[in-house]
Amino acid sequence: MSVTLIGAGPGDADLLTVRAARLLGQADVVVYDRLVDQSVLDLARDDAEMIDVGKTPGRSSSQESINDILVALAATGRSIVRLKGGDPFVFGRGGEEMMALRAAGYACDIVPGLSSSLSGPLAAGIPVTHRGVSRGVTIVTGHLLDGECNSFERLANPDLTLVVLMGVAHRAEIARQLIAGGLHDATPVAVIERAYTSTQRTIRTHLAALADTEIANPAIIVIGAVAALALSRLSAELATASW
């Protein structure tokens, strides 16, 4: 297999799959994103060529140029690993890269990774579902391709957990729409910044206060009753009826 798309997980290298670690350690070339933790990159061979195609919001290698780089590398016949933060198919545009490679006649394999959408809440002791508290989870992006805010009003459902990726910039509008859609303005919210990295931080708030809460990217926003839970603490608090 000339190109393998690999999910790097949310942060620390020890959250990689065994398969991902093995293939990464064998690759001739590693093409990686901004969100991939240094501890993961350290698993590449010392003589591997490391190519940073990191996309910082506002200053990006375009997706088309990344696709072109991958196709050109595939043509060299070397073993290429394309490392993406979290899982390659959860808002990772891994599908587009795979299609570009296929269209150019190159095989592409894929290795799943732990998505920040499900592991990030866990880093703060939040179960995304919990019997009697949340009967499901919806994972959404905060912003659309054109930079506009996604539609949240129809997603207002007190029985479900909402996990928002890429929601920091539109957090005021997200909260406004969810309250307009019927969620209580005291609905618990937890924000997990840089989950499973050395600078992880959790912020607990509620919907009405989300707009005024300072948050830095990358962060996931968890909205719903489970966001009040902190099961990793010794004195695990169960959601109270205070909201």
Beta carbon nearer to ligand SAH, 157 or 197: 197
Q: Exactly one of 12, 14, 28, 33 is catalytic; name it.
A: 33
43-52, long-range: CB within 8 Å, 24+ apart, which pairs? Answer: 43/13, 43/16, 44/81
Residue 165 interacts with ligand SAH (CB under 6 A)? yes
Q: Give me 31's structure tokens.
A: 């093409």
Residue-by-residue DSSP string for 191-229:
EEESTTSTT-EEEEEEGGGGGGS---SSEEEEESGGGG-
Beta carbon nearer to ligand SAH, 39 or 243: 39
146 is catalytic: no
Q: Give me 97's structure tokens.
A: 């890269």
Distance CA 96, CA 110 (A): 13
Residue 11 interacts with ligand SAH (CB under 6 A)? yes
Residue 92 interacts with ligand SAH (CB under 6 A)? yes
Closest CA to 100 of 135, 130, 70: 70
Residue-by-residue DSSP string for 153-189:
GGG--TTSEEEEES-STTHHHHHHHHHHTT--TT-EE
Return phi, psi of residue 100, to 5°: -65, -40
Residue 111 interacts with ligand SAH (CB under 6 A)? no
Residue 124 interacts with ligand SAH (CB under 6 A)? no
Residue 86 interacts with ligand SAH (CB under 6 A)? yes
Residue 32 interacts with ligand SAH (CB under 6 A)? no
Distance in Å, CB of 97 to ligand SAH, minimum:
12
Beta carbon nearer to ligand SAH, 194 or 206: 194
Residue 170 interacts with ligand SAH (CB under 6 A)? no
Which residues sit at the interface with ligand SAH, rule CB under 6 A? 10-11, 35, 84-87, 90-92, 115-117, 120, 165-166, 192, 194-197, 217-220
Q: Which residue numbers are catalytic?
A: 33, 55
